[in-house]
Structure formats: C-alpha cells, structure tokens
C-alpha cells in the first residue's frame, strides 16, 4: 500500500511539473521571456496585437513557429543563393523563394475600406484594442475610424502610391499603417533616407520602416521603385543600417500575428531579419539581436560535411515535405502581383479550412475578450487556429493527451508489477 501511495504521489508531482508547459500564463509585454508566456486576446476571428513598442523581441511567436515549417524553414530557405548587390537581388533564387512563400500563404487580400476597422487589432499595444498607436510617433488615439478632414488619424502608404503601386498591393494592411494626419502630410511621398530630400523617421521606428519596405519589395515584386531619390529607400546601406540599429520589437511580432489572422501571410523580415543580409549577398552582423537568435548563434557546419550526401545530410521523415506542408498548384497564383479570385477568402474574418490540410501543434490556453478561456491549436503549416471552449471549473492545463496517457500507462504498469510481486 505504501508503495502504491508513493507511485500515485510521484505521478501527481509529474503532472504538476508538466502542466504549465503548455499553459499560457501572462500577457506578453517586456516581461514575457518566451512565446509560451504570450496570452492571445481574440475578438471574433481577430487577434489583438499583444506586443509593446520598443520591447525587444527575443523569440518567435507560436504563430511564427507554425508558419515556417516543411519547405519554409529557415534551414531550407537560406540554402537558396541571394544576389550580390541591390541591383540583382530580385533576380536571385532566395528572392523568388521568399516571394513564393509569402504569396502562397496570402489567402485574403484586404480592401482599402476594410482596413478602417482592422487597425484596432493590428496596431494596438498589449492587446488593448480600444486604442491604436500611430506608426511614426507612437501617439495613442481612439481606434474608431472617422474619416474626412476632421479625422485625427488617416492611413499612411509606407510605400507611396506614386511609386509603383496600383492594385491589390496598395491596400495590403501589412504596408498600410495608421498615422496621425499631420505625420502623414509631413512625409508626403518622399523616400526613406538620411540625406536631403528624404524622409527620416524617429530612430525607434527606422527598422520597422525598412522591414516593411523589404516586405513590399519582395511580396509584390515592385523592384523598379525600390532605390534612390525616385524610389522608396535611399540605399541598401541605409536600409541595413536601420534594420540593425532598430531591432525587431514585440509590437512588430504581435502585429505579424494579428495580420496573419486576417490575411494568412507574414512579413518574413520581421521574423527572420537575417534574410535581408542574405538577400543582398552581405554578411549577417555578429551579435545582432533577432527573434530567432540565429544571427547571434549561427549554425556551425560539421567537419564531416562534404559535397557528397551522407546519412546526416539526408532529410528525415519529419523534414520531408508532404501534401500538408506544401500548397498545391491550385493555391499558387501565376500573376506575380495579384492573387486570383479563387485564392481569396470570401469571409474577411478568417482563412478557409479548404486552403490547407491542417496539422495542429500542442494546445495553448487563450483568453477571449469576455474573459472566458479556450484551448487553441495552431496549424503547423498555415498558422490557422482552431479553438475549443473550456467549461468553467474545468482543467486549465494544456498538456497533450499523449503525455497524460503515457504517464498514466506508466503508473498502471508499476501498480501491476507490484501486484504480481
């Protein structure tokens, strides 16, 4: 009997240790040390931006982790060759691979008017969707769209309309940002830069500007107006300097999550800034802080690596792309600038289940707007989230069924062995 009590007690201790691993415990601010500490607040099918301006992002969110799987992992995509300069980067295999990924996953194209009521989720801070933060200054204002000359805020084309936009690209909420009206007027259609004739934003938003410009350049293929006084960015030197001096903060990571919930795609240069240097044939700066940590801890090639494939070079079953990892031909658009009607979801709130054969990860507990909790599982392929309501008073642990089953099986086995003895 004493032995049985010890076994049961041991099981209880294991459950107590394992339970917090999948449970969301705190809202992600500058105090959240990892993705597991993010508490997602959902309003209908929208996710409120949980991040904070200026709080360095030291991790990839659970949505980001689920987005870059199969053929889209950093290890796989970074094998593609980038260009050698700003003049030929858009012709490189890496550019084409990054463009194909963001385009394939872009399942809903936002309309210009549709964005009016979406900024309260994408551009708020700390999940407080009652106010939004002006892109350039951080000024807080009510998120209700007013419009007209009396509106305290309007929408800023970070990539100016006059520089090559003309279609779905000009309404992309990833690029279109809410700003105080006077800030929008001050910038006009000037390119970003540090020399006379350019618009130089505040230091704490320079990296944000550079990463958005790179997204638009890559996702929409607008390469003609990228550089110089007639373009959107003064030079490659300025772009990379801004990205390094103003690293990704949790506000950008949280916005990537919020935009993904709307459109299906993400800005790869927020999640992996390292790609910016690889794309233009530059060395990634040592000790540069990035969400993935790859710049500070680059993968080291083994001494046994050779040009001939060995067992260690061969992809394991988990690395091999399957139907659930890769978009089918019918999901990939052939027009480099637009997504066909069949690829655009008719429901503006969510991505259709038909786009992907979902492969879900471990569950997390999220808090809804009304304070109720739900179990969330995120698709490892497309980032689609499925929810299950948690009954009041029910278990708040999100340990996987496999872990609990395995634990109970072990306990039962030990009890049976004891009985036989």
| Interval 39-98: pLDDT, tens | 999 999 999 999 999 999 999 999 999 999 999 999 999 999 999 999 999 999 999 999
Mean pLDDT of the chain: 78
Q: What are the structure tokens assigned to 58, written together?
A: 């030291």
Q: Does residue 374 sit within a domain?
A: no
Contacts 24+ apart (CB under 8 A), 345-349: 345/107, 345/108, 345/264, 348/108, 348/110, 348/114, 348/262, 349/44, 349/45, 349/46
Q: Considering the domain boundaries, does residue 138 fall inside one?
A: yes
Q: CB of 380 within 8 A of CB of 359?
A: yes
* pLDDT for 298: 85
Q: Is residue 64 part of a domain?
A: yes
Residue 411 lies in a domain: no
Residue 13 within a domain: no
Q: Which two tokens stand for residue 138?
A: 């951080």
Question: Considering the domain boundaries, does residue 408 fall inside one?
Answer: no
Q: Can you give the pLDDT at residue 203? A: 98
Compute the Cα dihedral for 197, 202, 203, 209 and give only its sign: negative
pLDDT of residue 17 exceeding 50: no
Q: What is the mean pLDDT of residues 213-221?
A: 98
Q: Structurally, how many domains does the chain consist of?
A: 1
Close Cβ partners of 188 (under 8 Å, ≥ 6 residues apart): 160, 199
pLDDT in tens, 21-44: 332 333 444 456 789 999 999 999
Give the pLDDT band of residue 369 (cuts 50, 70, 90).
low
Residue with the bigger pLDDT between 159 and 337: it is 159
Q: Supply the pLDDT for residue 363.
A: 72
Q: Look at residue 158 and tell me if it is in a domain.
A: yes
pLDDT greater than 60 at residue 260: yes
Task: Please report how many Cα atoms fall inside a 13 Å half-sphere around the Cα of residue 97, on the Cβ side.
Answer: 20
Determine which of 167-176, 226-235, 301-310 has the lowest per-residue pLDDT on average.
Answer: 301-310
Domain range spanning residue 247?
Answer: 49-350
For residue 3, tell me if it sits in a domain.
Answer: no
Query: Does residue 1 surpass a pLDDT of 60?
Result: no
Residue 351 has pLDDT above 60, yes or no: no
The pLDDT of residue 61 is: 98
**Could you write out the three-class secondary structure of the chain?**
CHHHHHHHHHHHHHHHHHHHHHCCCCCCCCCCCCHHHCCCEEECCEECCCCCCCCECCCCCHHHHHHCCHHHCHHHHCCCCCCCCCCCHHHCHHHHHHHHHHHHHCCCCCCCCHHHHCHHHHCCECCECCEEECCCCCCEEECCCCCCCCCCEEEEECCCCCCCCCCHHHHCCCCEEEEEHHHHHHHCCCCECCCCCCECCCHHHHHHHHHHHHHHHHHCCCCCCCECCCCCECCHHHHHHHHHHCCCEHHHHHHHHHHHHHHCCCCHHHHCCHHHHHHCCCCCCCCCCCCCCCCCCCCCCCCCCCCCCCCCCCCCHHHCCCCCCCCCHHHCCCCCCCCCHHHCCCCCCCCCHHHCCCCECCCEEEEECCCCEEEEEEECCCCCEEEEECCCCCCCCCCCHHHHHHHHHHHHHHHHHHHHC
Distance separating alpha carbons of residues 279 and 266, to the nearest angstrom: 17
pLDDT surpassing 50 at residue 117: yes
């Amino acid at each position: 009997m004493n032995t049985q009590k010890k076994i049961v007690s041991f099981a209880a201790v294991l459950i107590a240790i394992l339970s917090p691993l999948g449970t969301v415990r705190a809202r992600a601010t500058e105090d959240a040390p990892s993705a597991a500490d993010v508490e997602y607040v959902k309003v209908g099918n929208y996710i409120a931006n949980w991040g904070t301006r200026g709080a360095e992002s030291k991790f990839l969110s659970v949505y980001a982790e689920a987005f870059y799987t199969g053929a889209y992992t950093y290890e796989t995509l970074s094998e593609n060759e980038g260009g050698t300069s700003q003049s030929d980067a858009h012709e490189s295999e890496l550019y084409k691979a990054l463009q194909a990924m963001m385009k394939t996953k872009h399942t809903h194209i936002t309309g210009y008017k549709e964005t009016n009521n979406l900024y309260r989720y994408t551009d708020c801070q700390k999940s407080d969707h009652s106010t939004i933060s002006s892109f350039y200054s951080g000024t807080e204002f009510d998120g209700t769209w007013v419009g007209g000359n009396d509106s305290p805020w309007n929408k800023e084309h970070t990539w100016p309309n006059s520089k090559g936009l003309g279609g779905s690209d000009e309404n992309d909420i990833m690029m279109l940002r809410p700003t105080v009206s006077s800030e929008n007027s001050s910038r006009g259609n000037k390119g970003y830069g540090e020399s006379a004739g350019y618009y130089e934003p505040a230091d704490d938003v320079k990296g944000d500007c550079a990463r958005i410009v790179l997204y638009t350049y890559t996702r929409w293929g607008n390469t003609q107006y990228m550089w110089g006084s007639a373009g959107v960015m003064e030079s490659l030197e300025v772009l990379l300097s801004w990205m390094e001096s103003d690293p990704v903060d949790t506000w950008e990571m949280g916005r990537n999550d919020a935009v993904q919930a709307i459109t299906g795609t993400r800005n790869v240069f927020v999640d992996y800034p390292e790609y910016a240097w690889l794309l233009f044939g530059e060395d990634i700066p040592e000790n540069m802080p990035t969400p993935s940590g790859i710049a500070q801890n680059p993968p080291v090639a083994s001494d046994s690596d050779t040009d001939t494939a060995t067992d260690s070079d061969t992809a394991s079953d988990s690395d091999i792309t399957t139907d659930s990892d890769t978009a089918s031909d019918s999901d990939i658009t052939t027009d480099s600038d637009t997504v066909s009607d069949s690829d655009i979801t008719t429901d503006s709130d969510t991505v259709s289940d038909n786009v992907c054969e979902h492969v879900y990860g471990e569950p997390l507990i999220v808090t809804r707007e009304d304070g109720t909790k739900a179990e969330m599982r995120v698709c490892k392929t497309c980032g689609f989230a499925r929810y299950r309501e948690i009954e009041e008073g029910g278990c708040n642990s999100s340990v996987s069924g496999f872990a609990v089953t395995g634990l109970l099986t072990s306990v039962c086995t030990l009890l049976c062995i004891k009985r036989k003895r």
